[in-house]
């Protein structure tokens, strides 16, 4: 198999992460009108279900578009979980993290530019698809609820990724399973935290939404990383999987994990 240059892997990660944040958060900012007047109902646009589907579709399409190049992580928590599970080289974790956060930030900036084209738009007042708890939770859930659901759902996300890309799994369907899982995750947790399970997604829009969003973004960095670490450390124990970096699944880009650098 021809070696894939690191520059190509990082370029693919940047494209996929940009698409996830712009497509997913863009659907929330531009198309999901969730407020209504009881006496004069307002078109709710795509709503929570539409936003959940948008996030799932961005990952599904991104994995099939560039997953064979970079592994299709698009998420620092996924990168960490795969490294802990011995599915990804530790020396590439930091370059992937930097690329993911930068690409997410660029996506947030482009989304802000588009959204600001509407008179009266204010990123701070609108929330700008940021994550939060307490008074920043869509349905008023507190810090503990947000912490627990982000840890649990990120762990579930990593279990599905690791299972769908297991050498024993059917080939070619990983992207579908991963995309549908992210959709379900959003359906469960949008009311609680507006759904992160991805530190880059959270940071990418929080920069532009004021001090309130930035003061709470720590949870959406810490909790997904904890959840991913739990799944990465326990998947092989639970399923009797073996993932050496120099053979099998690690060398098969079709299953959605980056081949090792030489």
pTM: 0.89
Q: What is the pLDDT of residues 47-69, one digit of tens each?
A: 899 999 999 999 999 999 999 99
Full domain range(s) for residue 111: 6-242
The pLDDT of residue 1 is 59
- 185-240 residue pLDDT tens: 999 999 999 999 999 999 999 999 999 999 999 999 999 999 999 999 999 999 99
Q: Is residue 248 part of a domain?
A: no
150 lies in a domain?
Answer: yes
Q: For residue 79, is pLDDT > 60? A: yes
Please give, one letter per residue, the 3-state secondary structure of the chain: CCCCCHHHHHHHHHHHHHHHHHHHHHHHHHHCCCCCECCECCCCCCHHHHHHHHHHHHHHHHHHHHHHHHCCCCCHHHHHHHHHCCCCCHHHHHHHHHHHHHHHHHHHHHHHHHHCCCCCCCHHHHCCCCCCCHHHCCCCCCHHHHHHHHHHHHHHHHHHHHHHCCCCCCCCCHHHHHHHHHHHHHHHHHHHHCCCCCHHHHHHHHCCCCHHHHHHCCHHHHHHHHHHHHHHHHHHHHHCCCCCCCCHHHHCHHHCCCCCCC
Q: How many structural domains is the chain composed of?
A: 1
pLDDT tier at 250, thresholds 50, 70, 90: very low
pLDDT over 60 (residue 259)? no
Confidence of residue 246 (pLDDT cuts 50, 70, 90): very low
Task: Tell whether 262 is covered by a domain.
Answer: no
pLDDT, residue 249, reads 37
Q: Is residue 1 part of a domain?
A: no
Residue 256, in any domain of the structure:
no
CATH number (domain holding residue 184): 1.20.1080.10
Q: Is residue 253 part of a domain?
A: no
Q: Write out pLDDT tens, residues 112-167.
A: 999 999 999 999 999 999 999 999 999 999 999 999 999 999 999 999 999 999 99
| Segment 87-117, tens digit of pLDDT | 999 999 999 999 999 999 999 999 999 999 9
């Amino acid at each position: 198999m021809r070696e894939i240059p690191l520059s190509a892997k990082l370029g693919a990660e940047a494209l996929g992460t940009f698409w996830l944040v712009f497509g997913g958060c863009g659907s929330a900012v531009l198309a999901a009108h969730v407020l209504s007047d009881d006496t004069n109902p307002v078109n709710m646009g795509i709503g929570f279900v539409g936003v959940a589907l948008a996030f799932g579709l961005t990952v599904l399409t991104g994995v099939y578009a560039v997953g064979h190049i970079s592994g299709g992580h698009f998420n620092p928590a996924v990168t960490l979980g795969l490294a802990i599970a011995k599915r990804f080289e530790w020396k590439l974790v930091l370059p992937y993290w930097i690329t993911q956060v930068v690409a997410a930030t660029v996506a947030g900036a482009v989304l802000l530019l588009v959204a600001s084209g509407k008179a009266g738009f204010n990123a701070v007042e609108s929330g700008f698809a940021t994550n939060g708890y307490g008074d920043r939770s869509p349905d008023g859930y507190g810090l503990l609820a947000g912490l627990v659901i982000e840890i649990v759902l990120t762990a579930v996300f990593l279990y599905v990724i690791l299972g769908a890309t297991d050498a024993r799994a059917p080939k070619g369907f990983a992207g579908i399973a991963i995309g549908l899982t992210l959709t379900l995750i959003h359906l469960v947790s949008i009311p609680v935290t507006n759904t992160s399970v991805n530190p880059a997604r959270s940071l990418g829009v929080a920069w532009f939404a004021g001090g309130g969003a930035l003061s709470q973004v720590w949870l959406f960095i810490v909790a997904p990383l904890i959840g991913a670490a739990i799944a990465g450390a326990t998947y092989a124990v639970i399923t009797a999987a073996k993932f050496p970096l120099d053979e099998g699944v690690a060398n098969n880009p079709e299953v959605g994990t980056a081949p090792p650098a030489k």
